């Protein structure tokens, strides 16, 4: 399938160039986000009746993992409210043209942090506390507020969106999986960029701000670090930026060689499997260990979680590819071949989330009418009874997602193995075993 340039359609182009439609969505999102913080802090402690738990961990999560990431990549980041207050403060403006004088420290993020290891750590921190986080409104409220304030603080110290680029626990996995999405922002003609004076897409101009994600749009080859903020569409004086529809997983044809990105793939794959076992499995002892933070059982759970993600999964993968000898160092083969885990991990999360979301979706109606659990009945649905949705379709849909993920990963493994000139068979076998395990955990 050839690429289709969506920005050729005048309506889409105008909507993306103008700041107002995006600002309108941002404001609605920011209000919703602040309300989620307040609901978490002052609403009912019963998670299933609190807006913060129900709308963040069920409604938002369902939209993010089942729709936004697979089909729009970093589409969520295009409307996410978290970086906004910090960005407005950093710029000293909401919509006005850029004033080049820095208002805050405006430091460059130190080189040692310019990778996604901090995002890997922040995601793992949330993952290790997830049983409590997903069920306790005031903890969700504190985490949401912490993210907002961390983004504000980093905006006053570092240039551009340092929080999004290097720390956000959500942004890390959205970036990883956005490579599979059938949408991209890219330049139209490389030659135009070569001769472009001042590179306003990166440095900013009177028309708009330099790339907030510290990316040079002229060099974009994958979606991972482009936050789809659309600023470069506004600043490029040569109309050289396009938003394209493209085949799924086009970015994966050129595998990454970075270890931080490779480990992100293992972290996400392993977390989906562990969550499936703990949140959906029949093992009460595991649930208790994950929930009782600070106890000996919880520390054992943490040790096991980290051992699975950093030792067992990458260790078995390494053993598998050890025999795929060629002149490339093992580290490079490891990083490149782990690209095959990206579609598999995404489909593991889709399959897991289907279960989690369909089981709990009916709480959305209750929380909509009574978001703080104070006895309101705004839309007459406060007393809707809980019942799992579409139960007969769940197992077939999950099987389809997992088998589809396996086929997708096998094809990606073939391409990645072709790039590093080794056999894809060990990676395909690894993906097959992981899929069987996930099927057993879910069904
Ligand atoms: S990286 Fe995180 S904070 Fe930044 S826009 Fe994306 S989800 Fe929001
Ligand atoms: S402003 Fe436009 S033409 Fe110039 S470097 Fe950026 S994308 Fe290329
Ligand atoms: S300015 Fe362009 S390249 Fe940079 S994040 Fe925004 S949309 Fe992506």
Closest ligand to 26 CA? 1
Contacts of 73 (CB under 8 A, 6+ apart): 174, 177, 178, 179, 180, 181, 183, 184, 223, 228
Mean pLDDT of the region 413-441 = 95
> Mutate which of 74, 126, 164 to test ligand 1's pocket (most atoms within 8 Å of Cβ)?
164
Q: What is the pLDDT of residue 2?
A: 84
pLDDT at residue 352 above 90?
Answer: yes
CA 35 to the chain's CA centroid: 22
173-203 pLDDT per residue, tens: 999 999 999 999 999 999 999 999 999 999 9
Evaluate if residue 10 carries a pLDDT over 70. yes
- Render the burial of 52-61: b for 16+ CB within 10 Å, e for the rest: bbbbbbbbbb
**What are phi and psi for residue 221, nearest 5 degrees?**
-125, -10
pLDDT digits (tens, 9 = 90+) for 43-96: 999 999 999 999 999 999 999 999 999 999 999 999 999 999 999 999 999 988
pLDDT band for position 101 (cuts 50, 70, 90): confident
Q: Please tell me the total number of residues recorded for the chain in this structure.
A: 443
Ligand 2: which residue has its CA nearest to atom 8? 193
Share of the chain above pLDDT 70, in %: 100
185 contacts 217 by C-beta, under 8 angstroms: yes
Q: Going by CA atoms, what residue is nearest to atom 5 of ligand 1?
A: 77
**172 CA: nearest ligand 1 atom:** 1
Confidence at residue 387, expressed as pLDDT on a 0 to 100 scale = 86
Separation between Cα atoms, residue 404 and residue 438, nearest integer Å: 13
Alpha helices in 372-442 (DSSP H): 391-420, 425-442
Mean pLDDT of 325-337: 88
Ligand 1 touching residue 144 (CB < 6 A) = no
Measured from the Cα of 235, ligand 2's closest atom is 1
For ligand 2, whether the C-beta of 188 sits within 6 Å is no
Question: Is the pTM here over 0.85, yes or no?
Answer: yes
Give the distance, in angstroms, between the CA of residue 288 and the centroid of all CA atoms in the same chain: 28
**In which band, very low, low, confident or very high, does the pLDDT at 326 lie, cut at 50, 70 and 90?**
confident
- Say how far apart CA 250 and CA 221 lie, in whole Å: 10
Rounded to the nearest integer, the mean pLDDT of the chain is: 95
Domain residue extents for the chain: 20-170, 254-442
Q: Is the pLDDT of residue 324 over 80?
A: no
State whether residue 395 is helix, strand or coil. Answer: helix
pLDDT of residue 180: 98
CA distance 224 to 168: 13
Q: What is the average per-residue pLDDT within 311-327?
A: 89
Average pLDDT over residues 107-134: 96
pLDDT at site 443: 85
Q: Quick one: pLDDT at residue 346? A: 98
pLDDT for residue 62? 94
**pLDDT for residue 391:** 85
Backbone angles phi, psi at 239, to 5 degrees: 50, 45
> Whose C-alpha lies nearest to ligand 3, atom 1?
211
Give how far Cα 91 sits from Cα of 24, 154, 205, 260, Å: 19, 13, 13, 31
Q: What's the pLDDT at 325?
A: 67
pLDDT digits (tens, 9 = 90+) for 222-266: 999 999 999 999 999 999 999 999 999 999 999 999 999 999 999
Q: Which ligand lies nearest to the CA atom of residue 212 in the structure?
A: 3
Q: Give me the pLDDT at residue 98, please.
A: 81
Atom of ligand 3 nearest to the CA of 213: 5
Return phi, psi of residue 323, to 5°.
-85, -5
Q: How does residue 327 score in pLDDT terms, banded at 50, 70 and 90?
A: confident
Query: What is the per-residue pLDDT across 271-298, written as a single tens digit (0 to 9) for each?
Result: 999 999 998 889 999 999 999 999 999 9
């Amino acid at each position: 399938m050839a690429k289709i340039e969506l920005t050729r359609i005048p309506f889409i182009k105008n909507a993306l160039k103008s700041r107002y439609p995006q600002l309108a969505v941002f404001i609605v999102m920011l209000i919703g986000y602040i309300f989620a913080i307040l609901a978490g802090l002052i609403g009912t402690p019963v998670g299933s009746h609190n807006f913060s738990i129900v709308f963040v961990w069920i409604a938002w999560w369902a939209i993010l993992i089942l729709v936004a990431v697979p089909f729009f990549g970093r589409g969520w980041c295009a409307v996410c409210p978290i970086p906004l207050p910090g960005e407005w403060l950093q710029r000293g403006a909401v919509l006005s043209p850029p004033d080049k004088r820095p208002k805050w420290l405006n430091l460059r993020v130190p080189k040692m942090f310019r990778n996604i290891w901090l995002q890997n750590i922040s995601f793992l921190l949330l993952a290790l506390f997830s049983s409590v986080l997903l069920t306790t409104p005031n903890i969700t409220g504190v985490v949401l507020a912490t993210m907002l304030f961390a983004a504000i603080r980093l905006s006053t110290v570092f240039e551009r969106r340092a929080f999004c680029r290097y720390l956000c626990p959500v942004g890390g996995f959205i970036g990883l999986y956005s490579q599979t999405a059938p949408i991209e922002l890219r330049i139209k003609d490389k030659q135009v960029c070569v001769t472009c004076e001042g590179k306003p897409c990166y440095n900013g101009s009177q028309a708009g701000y330099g790339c907030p994600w510290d990316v040079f749009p002229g060099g974009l080859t994958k979606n991972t670090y482009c936050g789809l903020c659309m600023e470069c569409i506004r600043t490029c004086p040569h109309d050289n930026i396009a938003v394209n529809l493209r085949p799924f997983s086009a970015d994966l044809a050129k595998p990454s060689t970075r270890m931080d990105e490779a480990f992100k793939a293992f972290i996400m794959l392993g977390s989906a499997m562990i969550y499936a076992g703990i949140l959906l499995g029949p093992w009460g002892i595991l649930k208790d260990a994950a929930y009782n933070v600070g106890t000996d059982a919880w520390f054992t759970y943490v040790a096991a979680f980290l051992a699975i993600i950093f030792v067992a999964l990458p260790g078995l993968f390494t053993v598998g590819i050890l025999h795929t000898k060629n002149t490339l160092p093992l580290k490079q083969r490891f990083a490149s071949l782990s690209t095959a885990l990206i579609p598999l991990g995404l489909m593991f999360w889709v399959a897991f989330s289907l279960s989690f979301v369909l089981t709990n979706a009916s709480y959305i109606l209750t929380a909509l009418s009574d978001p703080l659990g104070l006895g309101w009945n705004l839309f007459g649905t406060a007393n809707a009874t809980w019942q799992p949705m579409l139960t007969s379709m769940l197992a077939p849909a999950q099987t389809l997602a997992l088998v589809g993920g396996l086929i997708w990963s096998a094809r990606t493994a073939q391409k990645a193995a072709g790039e590093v000139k080794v056999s894809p068979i060990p990676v395909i076998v690894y993906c097959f075993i992981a899929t069987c395990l996930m099927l057993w955990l879910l069904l």
